[in-house]
Amino acid sequence: MRQLHAEWTKLRTLPSTWWLLAATVALTAAVGAAAVSSLTTRICPSPTACHEDTVKLALTGVQLSQAICLVLGALSIGAEYATGTIRTTLTAMPGRWRVLASKAATLSLLTAVAGALAVLSSLGLAHLILPTTPTNSATLRAAAGSILILVLVTLLGLSLATLLRDTAGAITLGLGILYVVPVLSHLVNSPTWQHRFQRWAPMPAGLSIQATTNLERLAIGPWPGLGVLAAYAVGLLGVGGAWFRLRDA
């Protein structure tokens, strides 16, 4: 509990934490509202008439706001390496696994709260703009999955910063993993490799959780896709934790 309290104190006293969380909520809601509003420029009596997955459209902002969560995760430990305060942290709390676990738990809780506000705002605005946006079990799954995406990407940022001990390097590598790899998948001429990228690259696989229609057309199912993203985040966190324990501060 002392470790959790210490990490919570560090996070809540940093203005950047609250700015990044507020930006996550605002960007997710604004982009989602803009995406749904684009349907109103056409005749759209119902989502099926537009042939659009309006729930997924309303959650489009998650694709951009996850970059903010990546930065939040990277800053949580990268800033300590940059200022040298990581030595103070490890002097006060020598158990390195506990330090990393406390950071992960605190970040996960904060991101989950901000993610819930962001997702609820997005879906709420979507219902105001397009009242025919459905609310069913698939919508709940997409909403819960979108919150988990933001949490997992935050942990990915923490993992990369722990491995590299550099905030800028972790953010650059993380953005490459999230955004550059999917772009490369569209540049590959082989349909087989395009399909593999869609199944195993973290962002396209993770975002499959947002689909509520035409699930048979997905390269990977919603929950297995989220599992791929979780494997990247948790796997790298484990590797980062092992490396964190073996190296000097």
- Contact indicator for 151, 21 with CB cutoff of 8 Å: no
What whole-number distance in Å separates Cα of residue 195 and Cα of residue 191? 6
- The torsion angle over the Cα atoms of residues 110, 114, 115 and 119, rounded to 10 degrees, is 160
Reported confidence tier of residue 41, pLDDT bands at 50, 70, 90: low
| pLDDT confidence tier of residue 162, bands split at 50, 70 and 90 | very high
- Residue 248's pLDDT band (cuts 50, 70, 90): low
* Cα distance between residue 57 and residue 122, in whole Å: 10
pLDDT on residue 96: 84
State the Cα–Cα distance between residues 167 and 80, nearest whole angstrom: 10
Of 64-68, 168-172, 215-219, give the lowest mean pLDDT range: 215-219
| Residue 49 token pair | 């008439």
Give the pLDDT score at 228. Answer: 95
- Tens of pLDDT, residues 114-155: 999 999 999 999 989 887 677 789 999 999 999 999 999 999
Residue 153 CA, chain-centre distance (Å), reads: 4
Residue 40 predicted with pLDDT over 80 = no
Structure confidence at residue 173 (pLDDT): 95
DSSP annotation string for 146-181? HHHHHHHHHHHHHHHHHHHS-HHHHHHHHHIIIIIH
Dump pLDDT digits (tens) for 44-87: 555 555 667 889 999 999 999 999 999 999 999 988 888 888 88
Q: How confident is the model at residue 9 (pLDDT cuts 50, 70, 90)?
A: confident
Cα–Cα distance measured from residue 171 to residue 20, given in angstroms and rounded to the nearest whole number: 14
Res 44: pLDDT: 57
pLDDT band per the 50, 70, 90 thresholds, residue 6 = confident
Residue 249: per-residue pLDDT: 57
Give the pLDDT confidence score for residue 42 in this predicted structure.
Answer: 57
Which has more pLDDT, 247 or 249? Answer: 247
| Measured CA angle at 106 (ends 179, 116), to 5 deg | 60
* Separation between Cα atoms, residue 139 and residue 133, nearest integer Å: 9
Helix (H), strand (E) at residue 65: helix 62-83
H helix or E strand, kind and range, residue 127: helix 96-129
Mean pLDDT on 101-121: 95
What local confidence, expressed as pLDDT, does residue 50 receive? 60
Return the pLDDT at 49. 58
Residue 2 has pLDDT above 90, yes or no: no
End-to-end CA distance of the chain: 23
Percent of the chain, pLDDT > 70?
94
Task: Give the number of other Cβ atoms within 10 Å of residue 157's Cβ.
Answer: 32
- Average pLDDT over the chain, rounded to whole? 88
Band (pLDDT 50/70/90 cuts) for residue 219 is: confident
